[in-house]
């Protein structure tokens, strides 16, 4: 298939507006990229990619390639117009240098004379911030028949823009190396990059995106060294002047994305492991809606599930907290389905006056809503929520009109959707009855805390911790070893209910789930109130075996589906108890994984491969193990813990509960859509998909025999 022809346009130094300088970035990087952790590191890629993506949104490009290179380098390529290299009148240097060294300099401000009508990186700080936070940057520009290049070190140009010669290519190549003095870790996650760019490919129809992991292309050993390594330097020199590495047929991991269907394709992807309620995916796209809202695009399909999955985008930026465009979508959805149901006599006589609520019509829906606007406003620097008021009316009008036509023209789909909503209405009424009898008369009105809960003395949620442990044995040790002032223990009996497809009434009939809900204090459903959370650290502490992992997954499913604000707020943690206790005479250490075990043995002067020096002990009786050590104190004894219940109170406190020494992993949602999809696969009813997922990912599992 031939590549589509892209538009040409006037794009030179006069298109670039300058608002302020670059100095603050290295001093306070968190203000510009949020964090210097993994999120901020990957954000550098997104900012550079967004420039290429915006070229495609404007019709000036149709191919983008992102490559992870040896030495911690990243390379982003497009076939757009190429960054202008002529002199900028305001700064007196090239437009390329201006864009790379001045904050708020770019072609995304100022209307008619600017480079873009619509862009994602509206603040214009992206590529300059990337430059400031990189130890080395190479920018290559192919435009107007010439090839230009400039390099930077920590944001400072090494030389003026050089004309390297003639070129038949068109576009920009940005290669950068994140500064290791800014970022503690500079190892990019290829899977994370792939997931993000796949999402972007859905949002810009007919844009080719390639993602390449070429980190081993210069040799496995060279890839592990710094950028000064000769092999890495030689590799970089070898790709200068070239546009697409994918054309070189490198034998490295790679992915390619191209979707003609846009959001329709994204909904189909999100519903891959779901059973659709209706065959046809609703889709509408209206461009040039008005001056304030250039484009509205919506895709919808209902599935046989109780969760709703709504994804929101504004200028291709994901909005996890939704915003005005989703408000307009929900309003139109509720009104349109109510009108259709009344018109076609789906309501019983007693329900005709009440109709469907907003929650009723959202059950089981998968929807993606995207707007593109020239003057866009977000609530907050992170762009998590759209604030532009014009988006609400635009989406409400475009979606409402088109969805009504869809229902009229597809009566079988309409009937299936309405019947799905009617089931939701019945479930809502049953759940309300259960909630009224259990919650409103219970946790909300002073129901006593569950008997399995050993509460802490502190009444300040900020100081309080709740350990959720499995079984009475672990619960007993935890209660004896804890700090009673701040640490509460809730012991669960066996595995809790899988709530992935359980409605509220069934959930609250489960004693274990009800105990968790009451202990948290927030209630659940539409009366959930995070301000009433009784503990600001909820710590899941299960055994390091298959059953423990299953219980942990069931608890995470409960929190993700019904208490997601607790995950988003950073209140959920997973305890990391040690796997081994290592003793030699009176010397005693704990190891949390095999690498640490080998390191400890080495520090003791013991070769783990020498069996006569090491005694492996999987005894569940700690006293027996200690007695054996006393008899053979010249040897090293390793006790492998199978569960928390094997530890006595002192051991459990010292290794897992003492804030000074314990290891906790905070649960977060790096990619909510991906997390939702994984929960669907692992906890849903599609057994073949779950089997396929496990087989595909088995090699990445940490197996515990």
Active site residue 547: yes
CA nearest neighbour of 202 among 68, 115, 313, 356: 313
Q: Are strands 636-640 and 614-617 parallel, antiparallel or unpaired?
A: parallel
Alpha helices in 436-527 (DSSP H): 471-481, 504-508, 511-520
CA nearest neighbour of 550 among 540, 562, 560: 540
**φ, ψ for residue 580, nearest 5 deg:** -135, 145
- 178: number of Cβ within 10 Å: 25
| Given the residues 187, 545, 587, 670, the one annotated as active site | 545
Strand ranges of the sheet holding 282-287, from the earlier edge strand across to the other edge = 282-287, 295-302, 365-372, 309-314, 317-318
Q: For residues 65 and 387, what is the distance between their CA atoms, to the nearest angstrom?
A: 32
Which residues have C-beta within 8 Å of that of residue 301, sequence separation ≥ 6?
Answer: 267, 268, 271, 276, 277, 278, 281, 282, 365, 366, 367
- 180: number of Cβ within 10 Å: 13
| Given the residues 65, 413, 543, 646, the one annotated as active site | 543
Active site residue 545: yes
DSSP letter assigned to residue 3: P
Which residues have C-beta within 8 Å of that of residue 351, sequence separation ≥ 6?
Answer: 425
Active site residue 704: no
Strand partners, 617: 639
| Given the residues 97, 213, 470, 505, the one annotated as active site | 470
Question: Rg of the chain over CA atoms, in angstroms?
Answer: 29
Q: For residues 582 and 589, what is the distance between their CA atoms, to the nearest angstrom?
A: 5
Residue 81: both structure tokens together:
């117009």
DSSP letter assigned to residue 524: -
Segment holding 301, helix H or strand E: strand 295-302
CA nearest neighbour of 508 among 570, 451, 430: 430
Active site residue 86: no
CA nearest neighbour of 172 among 251, 54, 73, 91: 54
Which residues have C-beta within 8 Å of that of residue 525, sequence separation ≥ 6?
Answer: 431, 435, 439, 504, 562
> What distances in angstroms separate CA 295 from CA 9, 13, 376, 584, one per listed residue?
21, 28, 12, 70
Place of tokens 């979606």: 399
- 558: number of Cβ within 10 Å: 23
Q: For residues 334 and 106, what is the distance between their CA atoms, to the nearest angstrom?
A: 41
CB 219 within 8 A of CB 231: yes
51: alpha, beta or left? (left if phi > 0; alpha if psi -120 to 50): alpha
- 19: number of Cβ within 10 Å: 13
Helix (H, G, I), strand (E, B) or coil at 595: helix
| Given the residues 39, 321, 547, 686, the one annotated as active site | 547
Q: Among all residues, which ones are annotated catalytic?
A: 470, 543, 545, 547
């Amino acid at each position: 298939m031939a590549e589509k022809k892209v538009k040409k346009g006037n794009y030179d130094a006069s298109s670039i507006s300058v608002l302020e300088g670059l100095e603050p970035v290295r001093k306070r990087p968190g203000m510009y990229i949020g964090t210097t952790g993994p999120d901020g590191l990957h954000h550098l890629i997104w900012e550079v990619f967004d420039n290429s993506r915006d070229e495609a949104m404007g019709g000036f490009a149709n191919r983008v390639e992102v490559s992870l290179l040896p030495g911690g380098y990243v390379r982003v390529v497009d076939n757009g117009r190429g960054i202008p290299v002529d002199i900028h009148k305001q700064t007196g240097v090239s437009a390329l240098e201006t864009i790379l060294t001045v904050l708020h300099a770019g072609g995304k401000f100022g209307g008619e004379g600017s480079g873009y009508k619509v862009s994602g990186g509206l603040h214009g700080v992206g590529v300059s911030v990337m430059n400031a936070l990189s130890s080395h940057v190479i920018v290559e520009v192919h435009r107007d028949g010439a090839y230009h290049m400039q390099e930077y070190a920590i944001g400072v140009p090494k030389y003026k823009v050089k004309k390297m010669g003639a070129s038949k290519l068109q576009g920009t190549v940005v290669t950068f190396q994140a500064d290791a003095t800014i970022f503690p870790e500079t190892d990019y996650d290829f899977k994370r990059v792939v997931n993000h760019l796949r999402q972007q490919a859905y949002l810009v129809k007919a844009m080719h995106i390639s993602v390449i992991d070429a980190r081993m292309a210069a040799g496995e050993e060279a890839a592990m060294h710094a950028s000064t390594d000769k092999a890495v330097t030689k590799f970089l020199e070898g790709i200068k002047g070239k546009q697409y590495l994918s054309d070189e047929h490198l034998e490295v991991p790679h992915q390619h994305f191209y979707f003609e269907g846009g959001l329709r394709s994204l909904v189909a992807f999100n519903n891959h492991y779901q059973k659709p309620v209706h065959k046809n995916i609703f889709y509408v796209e209206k461009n040039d809606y008005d001056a304030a809202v250039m484009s509205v695009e919506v895709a919808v399909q209902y599935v046989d599930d109780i969760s709703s999955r709504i994804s929101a985008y504004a200028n291709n930026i994901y909005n996890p907290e939704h915003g005005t465009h989703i408000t307009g979508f929900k309003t139109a959805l509720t009104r349109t389905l109510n009108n259709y149901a009344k018109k076609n006599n789906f309501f019983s006589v007693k329900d005709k006056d009440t109709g469907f609520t907003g929650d009723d019509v959202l059950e089981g829906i998968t929807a993606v809503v995207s707007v593109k606007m020239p003057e866009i406003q977000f609530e907050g620097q992170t762009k998590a929520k759209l604030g532009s008021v014009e988006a609400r009316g635009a989406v409400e009008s475009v979606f409402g009109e088109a969805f009504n036509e869809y229902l009229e023209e597809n009566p079988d789909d309409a009937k299936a959707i309405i019947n799905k909503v009617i089931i939701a209405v019945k479930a809502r009424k049953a759940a309300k009855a259960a909630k009224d009898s259990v919650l409103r008369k219970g946790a909300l009105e002073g129901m006593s805390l569950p008997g399995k809960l050993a509460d802490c003395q502190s009444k300040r949620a900020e100081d309080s911790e709740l350990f959720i442990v499995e079984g009475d044995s672990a619960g007993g040790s935890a209660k004896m070893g804890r700090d009673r002032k701040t640490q509460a223990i809730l012991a669960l009996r066996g595995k809790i209910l899988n709530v992935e497809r359980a409605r509220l009434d069934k959930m609250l009939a489960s004693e274990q789930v009800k105990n968790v809900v009451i202990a948290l204090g927030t209630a659940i459903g539409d009366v959930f109130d995070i301000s009433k959370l009784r503990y600001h650290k909820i710590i899941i502490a299960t055994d390091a075996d298959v059953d423990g992992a299953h219980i942990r997954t069931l608890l995470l499913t409960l929190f993700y589906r019904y208490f997601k604000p607790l995950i988003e707020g950073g209140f959920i943690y997973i305890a990391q108890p040690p796997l081994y206790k290592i003793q030699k005479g009176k010397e005693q250490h704990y190891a949390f994984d095999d690498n640490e075990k080998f390191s400890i043995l080495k520090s003791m002067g013991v070769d783990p491969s020498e069996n006569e020096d090491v005694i492996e002990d999987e005894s569940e009786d700690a006293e027996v193990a200690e007695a054996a050590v006393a008899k053979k104190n010249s040897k090293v004894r390793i006790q492998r813990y199978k569960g928390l219940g094997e530890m006595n109170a002192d051991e459990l406190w010292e290794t897992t509960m003492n804030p000074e020494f314990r290891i906790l992993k905070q649960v977060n949602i790096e990619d909510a859509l991906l997390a939702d999809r994984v929960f669907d696969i692992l906890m849903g009813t599609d057994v073949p998909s779950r089997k396929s997922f496990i087989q595909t990912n088995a090699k990445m599992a940490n197996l515990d025999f």
